[in-house]
Amino acid sequence: MANLPILNKMKSEQHNRSGWLLLCFLAIFSFSVFSQTDGTMGGLNTVVIDAGHGGKDPGCHGASANEKSVTLAIALKLGAFIKETFPNVKVIYTRDSDVFVELEERAQIANRNNADLFICIHANAGPATAYGVETYVLGLHKTEAQKQVAERENATIELEEDGGDKYKDFDLSPDAIIARQLQLSVFLDHSIVFATKLQEQFVSIGRSDRGVRQAGFLVLYRTTMPSVLIETGFLTNAEEEKFLADPASQEKMARSIFNAFKDYKKYYDAGFSGEGTAIETNNTVNLDKSKFGLAETEVKADEVIYRVQIETSTTKIALNDARFKGMTVYMYEDKGLFKYTVGAFRDLESANNLKKEMRTAGFEHAFVITMKGNQRVNL
């Protein structure tokens, strides 16, 4: 295990929680809750594929294969599959050759391009008997093994020009990660959906399922879209190393990730088209009116408020349509789409609570947005 003085310092130091929450709040709302790329309509338009390690950072290794080569091969094959099937989806690589890219920059490549999905590809290390594939989302590790995986991948910062100094005030304490999860709750939900689809695909080609897991990966902490980190197998296991070093097996892994991407894209796009939302049409939502927040007469014209978006459609839907279950619904137009919201709040927590209620009521794609008047805005 690499010596991690900076990461240990981050864990032991206590930071001003309110200041951190403010920074987190600003970070999440610097981008749309679901990004829409230049001139295109809603849906999954941009994916960033991150091949772990590279250049002076080989990652882990087995008897002959190293992580940086395995991850790049799988990443390039995955990108080719997406481009071939979805020519309108923009595919961006954090690296497409054997070069070193800092963890911070990997996340910022995704953020700058308003990516709709971030896929980080790695290979694992452990005891010679360890085997299988696992997919991580941002969260708190539940076992020592999960903690060690995150520490190993985070150790890349020691090879950066400043030796990781830029991360010295970075808070990976349990409180900070929980707060970050709250701020990124919409993205985290989708990350878990995609991670689950990935594991299902890996099982379908005979890989051992180590499940969907959580840990404090720096690269996931910095991204502001649904993000996953895939540990494709253990290079420290002779049989797994042989599998991962084989170009045919690398193609199988890339194809599995692509099939999960294809399934997830269908799920994700349904939230914008209104074609796949599971909504009952013959009942009502029985919620206390106070849970919907402010009355419209209380909202000032120039005030930025939180609302919960529950439906998107290419055609207008009557506000008293049965699918809205008797709720008071408000519509706004954006890029040729008609979008429908409920609730009005001055605080994010109340909006998130209503979002959860809406998902329970059948609006599975509900998410929180910020609006000023009848226009959606970013804080």
Same domain membership, residue 252 and residue 330: no
Q: Model pTM?
A: 0.59
Max mean pLDDT range (30-39, 77-86, 217-226): 77-86
| Residue 222 belongs to domain with CATH number | 3.40.630.40
- 246 and 302 inside one domain: no
Q: Is 319 in contact with 253 (CB distance < 8 Å)?
A: no
Domain endpoint, select from 239, 272, 305:
272
- CB-count exposure of residue 168 (10 Å: 0-12, 13-18, 19+): middle
Read off the CATH number of the domain in which 298 is found.
3.30.70.1070
Same domain, yes or no: 91 and 209: yes
**Domain contains 282:** no
**Does residue 27 sit in the same domain as residue 149?**
yes
Beta strands in 75-218 (DSSP E): 90-93, 117-124, 133-138, 209-215
Q: Cβ contacts of residue 303 below 8 Å, gap of 6+?
A: 346, 372
Q: What is the DSSP letter of 156?
A: G
Distance from the Cα of residue 53 to its chain's centroid: 20
238 shares its domain with 266: yes
Sheet holding 330-334, edge to edge: 330-334, 337-345, 304-313, 367-372, 375-377
Q: Which amino acid is at 142?
A: K
Domain encompassing residue 315: 289-377
pLDDT in tens, 324-346: 888 888 998 876 678 889 998 98
**Statement to judge: residues 17 and 75 lie in one domain:** yes
Residue type, 191: S
3-state secondary structure of 107: helix
- Whether 181 and 75 map to the same domain: the answer is yes
pLDDT, tens only, 150-209: 454 455 545 566 555 655 555 555 555 555 545 555 677 788 889 989 999 999 999 999
Task: Flag whether 356 is in a domain.
Answer: yes
Instruction: Say if 351 falls within a structural domain.
Output: yes
